[in-house]
Amino acid sequence: MVLAVSPNTTPTKSKPLLPSGMKLVEYCFGTWTALVFLFLYLPIILLVIYSFNESKLNIVWTGFTWHWYEQLWSNAPLIKAMKNSLIIAAFTTVFSVVLGTLGAWLLYRYNYPGRRALSTLIFVPMVIPEIIMGISLLIFFATIQFSLGFVSVIISHITFCFPFVMIAVQARLSGLDPFLEEAAMDLGAHPLQAFFQIILPYLMPAIISGALMSFTLSMDELIVTFFTASPASATLPLKVFGMAKVGLNPMINSISAIFILATAILVVAAEMLKRWNR
């Protein structure tokens, strides 16, 4: 018996069950990235969800409630700590913006011996461990016999916040036309007028971005504040840390959820301003 085979029939290639080559690499890295994000953000998501849990033990979900958020407003120590945090963050932001903007402008505008070394030293507070920075500041204040309180906390926060403003402003200055200031002075403006009327408006998006970052860092700071604050100047992170050491308190979840939301809003606003700079 002879079997006839149609000449138009072409063999079909079966698709591989698993990707290969670069697609396999992209698939592996994509899966790994998703697992990392899940590992980082799943605890935060659970914390926010359990801030609405009716149970006092905060282990098993028993029902939805706003009770713990309502109790926050009647807790006097937490309200006072929140006011302290806002006051410290506000002063820290103002001084960080002034120092960071002027520092970035001086490093950009003038050339002098030790300029590169000074530029490197300014960013040291950003990379050293916070516990080392906190202990060193505590030793410094004790050596000069400076009493701990609001001023010591503000000085400490400025120390590690103003470099973030400098980074944002320096990034903006890198795209500045060098002839812009000269053109302003050729038209009759003196250096101060050229800076405040021409340069400063150009730098404003970067300044606002750095200010938002400074405010966020100051509000969230715990370790440096722990070493430099007094009982009267205790911030909200210190109060939350003290509550967490005692035991599970449902209000901690509520406070953390509010902090997460506020921080996310400020960070997103800062990133939008950075994109506007570009």
Residues 242 and 217 in one domain: yes
Q: Give the pLDDT of residue 136.
A: 92
Please tell me the predicted confidence (pLDDT) of residue 70. 83
pLDDT of res. 63:
82
d(CA 6, CA 81): 85
pLDDT at 277: 56
| DSSP bridge partners of 53 | 64
Q: Where are the alpha helices (DSSP H) in 110-233?
A: 115-122, 124-127, 130-143, 150-173, 179-186, 191-194, 200-220, 223-228
Residue 31 belongs to domain spanning? 22-67
Select from 42, 67, 92 the last residue of a domain: 67
Please check whether residue 1 lies inside any domain of the structure: no
Same domain, 92 and 186: yes
* Per-residue exposure over 213-241, b if at least 16 CB sit within 10 Å of its own CB, e if not: bbbbbbbbbebbbbbbbeeebbbbbbbbb
- Helix 150-173 vs helix 200-220: angle between axes, to the nearest 10 degrees? 140
pLDDT of residue 1: 45
**pLDDT tens-place values along the chain, 278 residues long:** 454 555 555 555 555 555 666 777 788 888 899 999 999 889 888 888 888 888 777 777 888 888 888 888 888 888 898 899 999 999 999 999 999 999 888 888 777 777 777 777 887 888 888 899 999 999 999 999 999 999 999 999 999 899 999 988 888 888 877 777 778 777 777 777 877 788 888 888 889 888 988 998 998 889 999 999 998 889 988 988 888 777 677 788 888 888 788 778 877 876 776 676 55
Distance CA 143, CA 201 (A): 42
Q: Are residues 36 and 138 in the same domain?
A: no
Establish if 126 belongs to a structural domain. Answer: yes
Q: How many angstroms separate the CA atoms of 183 and 187, rounded? A: 6
Mark whether 174 and 196 lie in a shared domain. yes
Whole-number pLDDT of residue 84? 93
Q: What is the predicted pLDDT for the residue at 269?
A: 76
| 159 and 259 part of one domain | yes
- What are the C-alpha distances in Å from 212 to residues 15, 92, 180, 187? 51, 11, 27, 35
Residue 52 forms part of a structural domain: yes
Q: How far apart are the first and last CA of the chain?
A: 77
CA dist 53 and 65 (Å) reads 6
